[in-house]
Structure 1
């Protein structure tokens, strides 16, 4: 008990510098634990999203056993689900028909299924109906209630139950619902292929810097604390009690910081949960820390503090005289840095060489294990190799320079390389992780983006009014239009001019096109069936502008051919004939025609066009050809989470720098006062102190850029995409590293003054 009381007394009843350091340790641990809880809670939030979706999913009465069970029940409801895009967001409409008798099962969030003419909507969809009343066309009936949180995956979900009669759903492909509550979510928030790169990036972007940051926080004022422990040992305190006093002080600060960090996370999570800022909205209860997260935060942080401080405490307990005299400790462990950095660099460099010789291995179980391991080992080795590398460089510079400020800086860094490391390690890892994040974004962009020069959109032509038709064709971002028409034998034709056809195919691939003439449409990469041979006859049904039948037109596949090259999937690929608009009777159009629009393929343009088309025709089904709307929704969540990881990584790096800089400023008061007493000018001291940080930071940023690009390229080589070398992201990384270097140089100016404080020298 005396040891515990002494440790607490030294932690909270010391001088002003001691109390400031204790507050810095506590605040630093709080920020670190809040970031750790945020990262560890992401899988919990995703799992809660999928669990809610699975619990409301209808289990149809399929199979013999289910049919027998269904026959024994008085009645089962019918259900039919439709998912349509509203801009870039999915709108889910579930048409349900209650049985004429008996109690039917109800999904979570509703007390009973809606009857015919009744509609239950989510709060987000109810709010959207006021902004886009055209959506009401897809929800026949009156809104009579709201779906509760138990039946929604998040507060921003667009979801509705539409009541119908059994006769209305009889011939629509609906199924009898045995119960609600499936084993898996039909539309997961993030699939496994997306979760893997997300986990890898967050580990490198947040967890690795966070581990270093927490180690920095619990080792604040290491030199002064070791000298104080050595003094206690010389006054008669046993070696075991000396170590315990140090443990009490560090664990106390870490424990308080862990509790404060969890409170900080809960407050931030409650404020951000429903906003959708992260690309994913959830209910605050879904983001509560799990038991494993609580253990990692409340026990892991104090345990790390104890382990980090134990070595220096044992040194003060076993060699108190050497610590009090300020003798140099052991040199940095080069073998540990080499043991981590060399295998990591070997792995990532090997994959880069395979990419250079065009022998990329592609995605596999081996690469999914080796690439993250190589990146993590490289990052850890990068930090641990800074002290020996910069100490060697400082010794060489000090032996050759004639400037007093540079000599002071290099000799001090040579003697204490770990002090500057604690200042710059967070910023170095931030630049390293930023390069990895660029690689993940490039790979996701390759996976999600069609390798086509255009993006097609398909809309039902006859459901568009003339006004909507004109506005859709003139929408900003739309650069082409055509009609896809079905023959009576289910073959298709494209109604377009030569210029319009060119917007749906590869640039420069249209050959032999003549305006005003019906032509056979050919793609050399698509096999030609007998229905596309010259002379084959097909019938095209026509309708007038009022939608009434307007006869038929027989078309014969001509011998003259227009050749194109199309990226699949595309409506042009399956077309046999190119029909110019002038070949159709005036005032007519093909029956059941589909309006085809084209735009640029980049994601920003696709999203903008989808939003504009949804605003023009809210209830019309808009199909972006080749793109699943759930993929866009997942990409939004992934980019939001990666952006959050970048913000957390930036916060960790900046927090580590600020905390270490403040501690560094306090720890050098005695040395600054002594040098000032010897006649060193304040300007010289400022230059020396800045150089102490600039040297390891410049070396670390250079190594981070090289190692980061190697790790990024290895990820791209094994990702299966076409881009191996992300040269477009290099200027941004260089600019970021330069800004970090300038800000760190300015921020590390010492607090050297002409006025000497005798108390500082007397205490020493």
Structure 2
């Protein structure tokens, strides 16, 4: 029986048969053939490379899908807009009464709407097939699950409606969004231009879409975020295509023995890498489809999407499909430039030529040169040049990957004395410092980028954060009630709510010098409350129900002096944004007690008129807007949720506001949230990729490890040596990453015109996070290491 020739023995015939002008295609095809017919070892190497490349490709595809996902989220949010402050309309067959009843639950936003269609052609909200009847509600799938679980018990008390259906995908911005539409009746009297309105369609009243323009600093932030998050992925893909390099080079030596020249062996090696990259593309597509399908069940830092949102741009997906295989070929050729492959072996176990430093320094210097022209530009001098920004940031981060091998080589060459485990680790690092550096390149780049981003976030957040007048030591929650809701009985209900320590209830409106329909020229505030509550607004000499005061010494003091005169007729605000309401005159009492204005619960110190409940005419009470200020017992679990439940029972459209000493720009917060979500994905990829890389290196050393154990080396010693082999490069990598990250962060801060400052706690925490990822991966690789140290590892085929 004739034996089937192996790919290696068939090589001379292939050399003679192939035309000279097709060397590249012939050799690449031969490399691909070797990759698929190389036996068990070839398949394992192919699998490791494909998995590594596949994870990177999957994340790249997810990244290319982000613009599409954001666009769909924006479009769906725009389509369901229901402006309660739009133009006033009369009741018609095509109108809908709608009230905003948003709430919060355990830190998550719950979008709520009360609806009352007024005719058969009332506009239907996206995602609904029909409106629920009064007392019923349709909910999102996520809210339905929450209300049906033990975790949603407190929220269920706040939404006393019967669930009759679910909101379709077109009416939600994310799969985990909490939302509901509840049927209501008699909403018309509550139209106020704020919570409740009559609308004839959803979306923008003028049919356009909103555009949120960003200032140049936020645009710069977005550019830096994308560059920083994607660079570690690219670095890992470049590392993955070099898995199994030592075994591959030994196979190439066999090819030299049967007649291949050095250039041909490099092209064949490139073909093997190309095969792994192509299979990796297939794996990446599968990983992406799996992640896309699972995305509907995942929420990252408050962001969720539907699987249908994640549709990569065809152009960007095609770019990934072309770039990854091309990069695999180029990286392989670059890696073999310093390897001498001869018929009798590979000259790499001898001491390699020292790496040159000068060209490695050119990359970070070039990055700084690209960013230098924009230093001091700030937000006043137009947009930052996006090409220079991305190019400069990438060059600095690539500089980490080029400098780290040189640093590892220079340091480990000077290491020596120590225990057996230390000597084994040092000798291994001295022989293959490049492999050790490649393993930690991704985490070093990620940490460098994270430090720079953290510095930029910390430096500019002051520009997007402003202090409020809210004294959080005095009040923690504020509940704004609708106009006409009696705030005094409401105060008693809040006082009886679990977790509430103190309640201050105040009703307020504005007094003008003329009828509000004609537009008053000068106004003054009117506040109503019990004596105890009014003492939170002013210093009162004495007080009993029926007293009236004029507080002076605060803001708007001139208006009080001009308007609040005994016997003068003032006019209460009856319009209040609704465009309707008659005149409500009020005569200033003859006996107003003097008081001194102090800073009230709302954080303001205004001169105003203060009335106790008995001093308020009956016709004025429905014109007051109540606000209840609550001091909470923060040791009570779910105290805020109990307050929201009480507020919903009193007024379904009440606003419950958590007080904060500062408030931040929504655009800045959105970018920060998206960055954290992306960083989590990148760290997960890096952890998985490091594990694959570690297992690949252990697999290549299986025979060596088994030999050492057979000669009596303790397994504990070998395990410790593997730990040292990881610890030394990661320590050097994190030190380099911190240096580059601080440099990049300093340049970015100078670009936006912010005073240079370093949050060392954040730098240390980010560096520690990178080290923790590597240590976790090392711990996970110990069980396979123990199995590889068995005597069976000496077997060969």
Structure 1: distance between partners of 2:81 and 2:406: 59
Counterpart of 1:381 in structure 2 is 399
Say if 2:103 is the partner of 1:86.
yes
Counterpart of 1:272 in structure 2 is 295
Shift of 1:297: 4.0
Shift of 1:160: 4.4
Counterpart of 2:481 in structure 1 is 459
Structure 2: distance between partners of 1:167 and 1:561: 40
Counterpart of 1:393 in structure 2 is 411
1:594 to 616, 625, 634: 625
Alignment RMSD, CA only?
5.6
Task: Tell me if structure 2 keeps the 8 A contact 1:218–1:250.
Answer: yes
Return the TM-score normalized by structure 1.
0.73
Moved more, 488-497 or 656-665: 488-497
Classify 1:169/1:561 alpha carbon distance in 2 versus 1 (closer, same or farther; 3 Å). closer
Task: Tell me if structure 1 keeps the 8 A contact 2:253–2:343.
Answer: yes
Task: Tell me if structure 1 keeps the 8 A contact 2:488–2:505.
Answer: no
Counterpart of 1:520 in structure 2 is 551
Say if 2:436 is the partner of 1:416.
no
2:47 to 18, 23, 26: 23
Shift of 1:590: 5.1
Classify 1:197/1:625 alpha carbon distance in 2 versus 1 (closer, same or farther; 3 Å). farther
SS at match of 2:728: helix
Flag structure 2 segments of 5+ consecutive residues without an equivalent.
Answer: 1-24, 149-154, 513-522, 574-583
Classify 1:559/1:123 alpha carbon distance in 2 versus 1 (closer, same or farther; 3 Å). closer
Counterpart of 1:700 in structure 2 is 733
Shift of 1:622: 0.6
Structure 1: distance between partners of 2:420 and 2:412: 14
SS at match of 1:460: strand
Shift of 1:712: 5.1
Classify 1:725/1:229 alpha carbon distance in 2 versus 1 (closer, same or farther; 3 Å). same
Deviations 1:206-246 (A, max 9, x none): 31111111111111122331332233134213556534432
Structure 2: distance between partners of 1:682 and 1:114: 70
Classify 1:298/1:427 alpha carbon distance in 2 versus 1 (closer, same or farther; 3 Å). same
Task: Tell me if structure 2 keeps the 8 A contact 1:56–1:181.
Answer: no
Counterpart of 1:545 in structure 2 is none
Structure 2: distance between partners of 1:700 and 1:501: 63
SS at match of 2:243: coil
Classify 1:185/1:560 alpha carbon distance in 2 versus 1 (closer, same or farther; 3 Å). same
Classify 1:184/1:417 alpha carbon distance in 2 versus 1 (closer, same or farther; 3 Å). farther
Deviations 1:492-527 (A, max 9, x none): 1345689968989xxxxx9x676749462544xx56
Task: Tell me if structure 1 keeps the 8 A contact 2:556–2:606.
Answer: no
Flag structure 1 segments of 5+ consecutive residues without an equivalent.
Answer: 64-74, 505-509, 543-548
Moved more, 407-416 or 165-174: 165-174
Task: Tell me if structure 1 keeps the 8 A contact 2:451–2:741.
Answer: yes
Classify 1:245/1:645 alpha carbon distance in 2 versus 1 (closer, same or farther; 3 Å). same
Task: Tell me if structure 2 keeps the 8 A contact 1:532–1:576.
Answer: no
Moved more, 304-313 or 429-438: 429-438
Counterpart of 2:515 in structure 1 is none
Task: Tell me if structure 2 keeps the 8 A contact 1:693–1:748.
Answer: no
How many pairs were matched up? 709
SS at match of 1:656: helix
Task: Tell me if structure 1 keeps the 8 A contact 2:556–2:607.
Answer: no
Classify 1:56/1:579 alpha carbon distance in 2 versus 1 (closer, same or farther; 3 Å). closer
Counterpart of 2:12 in structure 1 is none
Counterpart of 2:255 in structure 1 is 232
Moved more, 359-368 or 164-173: 164-173
1:12 to 25, 29, 36: 36
Return the TM-score normalized by structure 2.
0.70
Counterpart of 1:579 in structure 2 is 610
Classify 1:462/1:725 alpha carbon distance in 2 versus 1 (closer, same or farther; 3 Å). farther
Classify 1:149/1:669 alpha carbon distance in 2 versus 1 (closer, same or farther; 3 Å). closer
Counterpart of 1:158 in structure 2 is 179
Structure 2: distance between partners of 1:653 and 1:600: 46
Structure 2: distance between partners of 1:500 and 1:397: 74
Say if 2:325 is the partner of 1:309.
no
Shift of 1:15: 4.7
Classify 1:305/1:120 alpha carbon distance in 2 versus 1 (closer, same or farther; 3 Å). same
SS at match of 2:102: strand
Task: Tell me if structure 2 keeps the 8 A contact 1:279–1:636.
Answer: no
Task: Tell me if structure 2 keeps the 8 A contact 1:348–1:710.
Answer: no
SS at match of 1:282: coil
Say if 2:76 is the partner of 1:52.
yes
Alignment of 1:563-574 (within 5 A): 563-564=598-599, 573=604
Counterpart of 2:576 in structure 1 is none
Counterpart of 2:559 in structure 1 is 530
Shift of 1:392: 1.5
Structure 2: distance between partners of 1:333 and 1:502: 77
Shift of 1:154: 4.0
Task: Tell me if structure 2 keeps the 8 A contact 1:232–1:242.
Answer: yes
Structure 2: distance between partners of 1:82 and 1:720: 44
